[in-house]
């Protein structure tokens, strides 16, 4: 599980749609699906945070 305090992208109904990947070597803005980061790549390789459950908190 990862915790991110970045400002998330939310839809019109207030649901979190995407967050910045909390991995220090990535930082990509990634879609959320069922509370998990979508599969994404950093420098041509799958990011180690892909498919990790994320909790969005106040920083």
Tokens for 2?
Answer: 């990862």
User: How many Å apart are CA 53 and CA 19, to the nearest integer?
Assistant: 12
* pTM, two decimal places: 0.74
pLDDT tens figures, 17-53: 899 888 888 989 999 988 899 999 999 999 999 999 9
Contact 22, 2 (CB under 8 A): yes
């Amino acid at each position: 599980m990862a915790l991110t305090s970045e400002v998330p992208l939310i839809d019109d109904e207030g649901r979190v749609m995407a967050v910045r990947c909390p991995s220090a070597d990535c930082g990509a803005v990634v879609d959320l699906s069922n509370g998990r980061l979508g599969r994404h790549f950093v420098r041509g390789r799958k990011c180690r945070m892909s498919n990790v459950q994320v909790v969005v908190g106040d920083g």
